[in-house]
Structure 1
């Protein structure tokens, strides 16, 4: 009889282990309109679903157009933490810079850093792994003559510093986009290489971003 109970206990343990191993890693992509579009057919999140190992990841988009870092902070409880994610990918910063010129409602550097740090700490308190991303582009000219290259480089460096300070994985899309454009934009166009309008992704941009995300996500599994 004891042998039967032991066998049952072993089989139960194996079953529970298999269930645990089968649980996919839930990833929430937290950002602005680029991420909002990422869940649509052909978007970078949609593409990732077929690029990552089958059944190992559950990908969720939490992007809202026009969002800046403080918008993310204000809605993170309902839109992210409530989803009980294993990993949160934060991709924000373009509007914090872009809206300074377009509508005068950007985010000052000190506020950007403080809100970003607050987002990180709150997610860490929820026992969530975090991946940071630098903002990719506001214009694709390769000679640093896009109007907001200076600010975009500065805010990207803020994010690099936060990733280093908190020992977090980084998808450095700013660096990756610049390197790609240097190789693929010989005519120094301001759009049309990876973006449709200097900011939002075209087909090539969605594929490129998906590839950058894939590298980091597979390393976390």
Structure 2
């Protein structure tokens, strides 16, 4: 069953560059050009009578510690009804390209802390998106040693907090196989192509509903975005 929002609600997207999707460098596109903005487009089509406010506070380059450091201003004070979070791939990436190690224990501690703080302040419903990697080189396969435990943390936290879970890692790797290769989904293995963002967006809207469906007489399905 999808998360059910009231007709009037605030939805907050949080994360790193995958969520940011150029919203910071192109402020006229405040929701970015990625899965967050695409999800909003689909939600507005599916629920035209709902009064939903969407906010994107993804910041390129963020690791979990960066997200925690700005959490009060960029999450708690916004009092979301639904919080969507995807964070973790930079904690893995920086280990391999910069020697900056985020232990799994500190990742889980910081992640649990931000969820607890927003849940206690606003009672927000939660949607957790796994960090993911769609390897495009042999070297990136070694990253899985670091990333896979973070994915397991997200799954545990989703269970602990009663959150919806978007299992993005398996979803996008399966999509890559179906599409003919990783480059169709994420050119560098991390940042989705427009098609990769679309796959995420369609999975996201399957997990969220608001007010009455656009057509109460028919099953609710997400309209497909154009390639």
What is the TM-score normalised by the length of structure 1? Answer: 0.80
Alignment of 1:39-188 (within 5 A): 39=23, 40=29, 42-52=33-43, 53-56=47-50, 57-126=52-121, 127-137=123-133, 139-140=135-136, 146-185=141-180
Mark the runs of 5 or more structure 2 residues left unpaired by the alignment: 1-5, 24-28, 213-227
More divergent stretch after superposition (30-39 vs 105-114): 30-39
Is residue 131–residue 169 contact of structure 1 (8 Å, CA) maintained in 2? yes
Q: Choose between structure 1 and 2 for higher RCO, CA contacts under 8 A separated by at least 6 residues.
A: 2
Match of 2:219 in 1: none
- How many residues of Structure 1 are paired with residues of Structure 2 in the alignment? 195
Provide the C-alpha distance between the structure 2 equivalents of 1:205 and 1:161, rounded to a whole number of angstroms: 25
Over 3 Å counting, the alpha-carbon distance change for 1:38 and 1:180 in structure 2 is farther
1:21-67 per-position Cα deviation (integer Å, ceiling 9, x unaligned): 652x2111110111111755642122122211225332211111111
For residue 122 of structure 1, report the CA deviation from its aligned partner: 0.6
Is residue 82–residue 125 contact of structure 2 (8 Å, CA) maintained in 1? yes
Over 3 Å counting, the alpha-carbon distance change for 1:113 and 1:22 in structure 2 is closer
For residue 145 of structure 1, report the CA deviation from its aligned partner: 6.4
The structure that is helix-richer by fraction is 1
Provide the C-alpha distance between the structure 2 equivalents of 1:196 and 1:99, rounded to a whole number of angstroms: 18
Residue 202 (structure 1) aligned with residue 196 (structure 2): no
Partner SS for 1:89:
strand
Provide the C-alpha distance between the structure 2 equivalents of 1:70 and 1:54, rounded to a whole number of angstroms: 37
Q: Give the alignment's Cα RMSD to 1 decimal.
A: 2.4
Mark the runs of 5 or more structure 1 residues left unpaired by the alignment: 1-20
1:139-179 per-position Cα deviation (integer Å, ceiling 9, x unaligned): 257x9962312222221011101111222111110121122
